[in-house]
Structure 1
């Protein structure tokens, strides 16, 4: 490797992509193509970066397997940063195996962390935690140590383990300082903001107030009966009753919880659950049927009793009943939550992260675009969607995550 390529590599390692480009911008040899691709990625030009890194991998060819594998890992990183989550994982696994076989443990570890970050993005927390448990961060360089701690913090935040997340972010900040890369320090800072901005609304006795993530964690550890409108479950002292597939029952549970300790008139319940402007006898019959189902589902944590004008919720253990609601009530909130990270997403990546069909996500994006809440860039397969982060609150509780009982 000549002096210009070496200098460009050092500039990239120090977080200076422009300095790297000044040295290799006019060169087309394989190492220069790889460095140019990484520099373009650091500048946010992901399409050009992917093309350059791919060209570098072809230029290295099979006679230089380690260099080629490093290019593949770099291409995978560009793909995941640009939210191309359908990038073939088998290719990344093969590159990691090549690096490990040739003793390049640092880049092999980097490939493993990329795989874990992808699992985190698509909400597969159990798999991400198992993969993290197999990695030893001790021998890693500072930049990769910071990446490790960011992944640990990301899992902890999604699990609502704020103390563990705060400790991991502190370690990530120290590692970023040792690495001396401003962009990495900024990434850690932005991740830390999640802990200091409102994450949800608590509704109790006709009053609402915002909660931080650590306050939500404290609420989950309390004895309160919680109707969780962020995850569509009912929680009681470690018991979680999912209602994600029974939306009518959840609407009724939330309406009763918001009014607790008072009752809710029958016509109000009919209007909220069935969206009927004028209630007739068929609606009243259906209401009795659905409330019977709700009573059966909640039998271990609460009762649903009839009153003179409607129905009321009665917790079995006499505790307080509260509703945990999203900071913004929007039926498209999960899509907005993913887009709020400031990166550009493809509709296929959103569908993968949300566990929904791509057509459903595309209809949602079209609706949000008509409302001016999102914007698209590019055409065809290169089309990406993005939106500025929503100000004033964090989106952790809007993101999909496995239920604790899964």
Structure 2
């Protein structure tokens, strides 16, 4: 690296982005393009940054594999920040292997952390854990160590392991302070505040209260039968029966749990689960069939008995409670993702929430009409953001494939 590039790189490392750009603004060699791309990313012009980095990667020679891999690594990080989840993850893995084989341990670890962050965002908790398991925290510099512990805390939060998550966030905050990067420290502090705040709404015998994630963890381990509307499951004492793929059955279960210790009328069950305005004999026949299916699925935790007016949930032991999302809005999950402050495409939201793009587009339009979200750009470049933050942590609203 020549003296000008070296001076520009040192300026970037100390946060002098404009100083770095002044040194390489008129150069178009691959090294200068890579530095300009990094600088533009720090200034927030992500599309231009990606163009410059891609151009730099093409400009490096066939034998400059490490330089090209570093450009790919920077592209992958920008794609993650801009929520371009269709960016080919195979390129990142190939770059990580090149960096590891050529002795660039720090950037190889950075690639692993980026891959783990992507898996965490998509709810692939086992994949994120495997990436972290391949890293040695003691060998990481402070900025990467903070990222490592943030991902570790995210995995624990999704799996409702609060004590472990709190320890990871404490270590992330210590590493962020050592790094001297204000943005990284602000991220760790925001994560800690989110963990300490209300995480869900608990309804028990008609009384509704806000509860923290610590209370949720204790509830999941207790004898209380919990109708968990955050992941569509029925839980008791560490046992969980998932109904995430059976929305009608979970809708029936939730009505029964909300009515406990009383029963729920057939008309109310039909209206909530089947959206039937005027129930006929075919609806009642279907209700009996679905109740039989529900009884078979949840039999290890509770039974469903018929009453003269409807049906009643009968727990094997303990009482019944309903755990609901912290925001009473049908588009709460979309709002939770938008609340991270990044610009999201509808396709990325659909990937993370495992929903159809058309359903996500309808939700975004509804939020826009309600004055809660706004669109930026048009066509394929269109992105979405919240107009105002909803004021609740997203802990239990995000994908949590490993929790049930």
| Deviation at residue 22 of structure 1 after TM alignment | 4.1
1:3-402 superposed matches below 5 A: 3-317=3-317, 319-388=318-387, 390-402=389-401
| Deviation at residue 81 of structure 1 after TM alignment | 0.9
Higher mean C-alpha displacement, 95-104 vs 321-330: 95-104
For residue 375 of structure 2, give the secondary structure of its aligned residue in structure 1. strand
Is this contact kept in 1: 2:371–2:387, CA < 8 A? no
| Deviation at residue 224 of structure 1 after TM alignment | 0.6
For residue 198 of structure 2, give the secondary structure of its aligned residue in structure 1. coil
The alpha-carbon distance between structure 1 residues 280 and 397, as it changes in their structure 2 partners (threshold 3 A), is: same
Encode CA deviations 1:330-386: one digit per residue, 9 max, x unaligned.
Answer: 333222222221111222222222223334333433333333332222233322222
| Deviation at residue 180 of structure 1 after TM alignment | 0.8
The alpha-carbon distance between structure 1 residues 370 and 388, as it changes in their structure 2 partners (threshold 3 A), is: closer
Aligned residues: 404
Is this contact kept in 2: 1:340–1:388, CA < 8 A? no
| Deviation at residue 70 of structure 1 after TM alignment | 1.0
| Deviation at residue 391 of structure 1 after TM alignment | 2.9
The alpha-carbon distance between structure 1 residues 213 and 252, as it changes in their structure 2 partners (threshold 3 A), is: same
Counterpart CA distance in 1 for 2:366 and 2:264 is 33
- Structure 2 length as normaliser, TM-score? 0.93
Runs (5+) with no aligned partner, structure 2: none
Is this contact kept in 1: 2:339–2:390, CA < 8 A? no
For residue 153 of structure 2, give the secondary structure of its aligned residue in structure 1. helix
Higher mean C-alpha displacement, 275-284 vs 248-257: 275-284
| Deviation at residue 403 of structure 1 after TM alignment | 5.0
For residue 397 of structure 1, give the secondary structure of its aligned residue in structure 2. coil
| Deviation at residue 11 of structure 1 after TM alignment | 3.0
Higher mean C-alpha displacement, 18-27 vs 68-77: 18-27
The alpha-carbon distance between structure 1 residues 369 and 52, as it changes in their structure 2 partners (threshold 3 A), is: same
Is this contact kept in 1: 2:85–2:348, CA < 8 A? yes
Is this contact kept in 1: 2:150–2:168, CA < 8 A? yes
Counterpart CA distance in 2 for 1:279 and 1:102 is 69
The alpha-carbon distance between structure 1 residues 207 and 182, as it changes in their structure 2 partners (threshold 3 A), is: same
Is this contact kept in 2: 1:50–1:75, CA < 8 A? yes
| Deviation at residue 302 of structure 1 after TM alignment | 1.1
Is this contact kept in 1: 2:159–2:403, CA < 8 A? no
Is this contact kept in 2: 1:84–1:349, CA < 8 A? yes
For residue 341 of structure 2, give the secondary structure of its aligned residue in structure 1. coil
Is this contact kept in 1: 2:198–2:326, CA < 8 A? yes
For residue 304 of structure 2, give the secondary structure of its aligned residue in structure 1. strand
Counterpart CA distance in 2 for 1:64 and 1:275 is 62
Counterpart CA distance in 2 for 1:137 and 1:16 is 29
| Deviation at residue 133 of structure 1 after TM alignment | 0.9
Is this contact kept in 2: 1:15–1:182, CA < 8 A? no
For residue 270 of structure 1, give the secondary structure of its aligned residue in structure 2. helix
| Deviation at residue 71 of structure 1 after TM alignment | 1.1
Counterpart CA distance in 2 for 1:97 and 1:299 is 49
Counterpart CA distance in 1 for 2:195 and 2:160 is 10
Encode CA deviations 1:162-185: one digit per residue, 9 max, x unaligned.
Answer: 111111111111111111111111
Encode CA deviations 1:7-60: one digit per residue, 9 max, x unaligned.
Answer: 332232234434433443444333222222112212222111111212222232
| Deviation at residue 389 of structure 1 after TM alignment | 6.3
For residue 396 of structure 2, give the secondary structure of its aligned residue in structure 1. helix
For residue 209 of structure 1, give the secondary structure of its aligned residue in structure 2. strand
